[in-house]
Amino acid sequence: MLRALEQIRRMRGGAQSHLMRCSDGHYYVIKFQNNPQHGRILVNEMLGTRLAARLGLPTTPVAVVEVSEELIRLTPELCVELPRSRIPCQAGLQFGSRFPGDPRRLALHDFLPDEQLREVANLHDFAGMLVFDKWTCNTNGRQTLFYLQEGLRAQNFERPPGEAEGRSSWSRPDVAGPPPSALRAEFGEVGGGEVAPVMPRYETKMIDQGFCFNAGEWTFPDAPLRGLYTRNRVYQGVTGMESFAPWLTRLEKGLGEKVLDELSREIPPEWYADDYDALLRLLEQLHGRRARVPELILQSKQSSRQPFPNWI
């Protein structure tokens, strides 16, 4: 069993998660059973992320992580802030989403400006993620991490070896980004409106599946704008329903009852208050909804937001 060894810092966001160093040498963003959103958020994260990975989408590895009573007792920061009080985080089995690298060295960005979105190597995966978010009725906006691709880090932004942590100009990973001059596109529009090739430099990973299945409700209140990423730019490669075909096919062929059942067994029962019937109902609904996804995407297309500029 993976264990948390040390709390590094509190993360922002409604679930009040914490970055923690764990026994496999990696860092994980941990959400606790007694988070202020809902206990079922942990189920949604684990099941949702594993399903997205099965669809071939870019996710971070996720795991059940044990946090001991002792670590919580010795770390006053490990608490949940409520409107009028603070209570310690719950000990036991929690949800962890792996930080994609060393947090002291890798700068993460929650957003990229439109210009830099063109430099994301796997931008087309946003179309696939829409298939997932429609299927699971994610009632939160799609959230993602952006970071420089591995080979480009050292030459561009990695802190020079030996430089003290926290002293470089960009060194607050996941808060500050690279300096603006470094973020400026190196390839882009050139004179006369001509568009030069864009060099892919960034990579994206889809995170925060906590509000899939409508958070703690485990219902599916579908709506045309639900699941869409905030920038239409990420859908510029979508030219018709066939643009979603790879993920729709995997959804239909690769995510049958057996897979759903298998994935549900990896979830600690205390995360759903031992209500196995509720979990089964959720899985049945998910299974039954697979064929509805194209229709839900069409409703987005027809909405006044017009998210797919190149789907004529």
Q: Which residues bind ligand ATP (CB under 6 A)?
A: 11-15, 17, 29, 60, 97-100, 108, 110, 140, 143, 145, 174, 207-208, 210
Residue 208 engages Mg ion in binding (rule: CB under 5 A):
yes
Give 28-31 contacts, CB < 8 A, sequence gap 24+. Answer: 28/4, 28/63, 28/65, 28/96, 28/97, 28/98, 28/99, 29/96, 29/97, 29/99, 30/4, 30/65, 30/67, 30/94, 30/95, 30/96, 31/94, 31/95, 31/96, 31/97, 31/210
Q: Which span sits near Mg ion by CB under 5 A: 13-21, 40-48, 151-159, 272-280?
A: 13-21
Tell me how far apart the alpha carbons of residues 214 and 128 are, in angstroms, rounded to a whole number: 20
Based on CB atoms, which residue is closest to ligand ATP, 140 or 168?
Answer: 140
99 binds, among Mg ion, ligand ATP, none (CB under 5 to 8 A by kind): ligand ATP
Based on CB atoms, which residue is closest to Mg ion, 203 or 208?
Answer: 208
The least distance separating ligand ATP from the CB of residue 234, rounded to whole angstroms, comes to 17
Based on CB atoms, which residue is closest to ligand ATP, 215 or 279?
Answer: 215
The least distance separating ligand ATP from the CB of residue 60, rounded to whole angstroms, comes to 4
Of the chain, the end-to-end C-alpha distance in Å amounts to: 51
Based on CB atoms, which residue is closest to ligand ATP, 99 or 247?
Answer: 99
List the Cα angle 27/33/37 in 5-degree steps. Answer: 100
The residues of the shown chain that bind Mg ion, judged by CB under 5 A, are 13, 143, 208
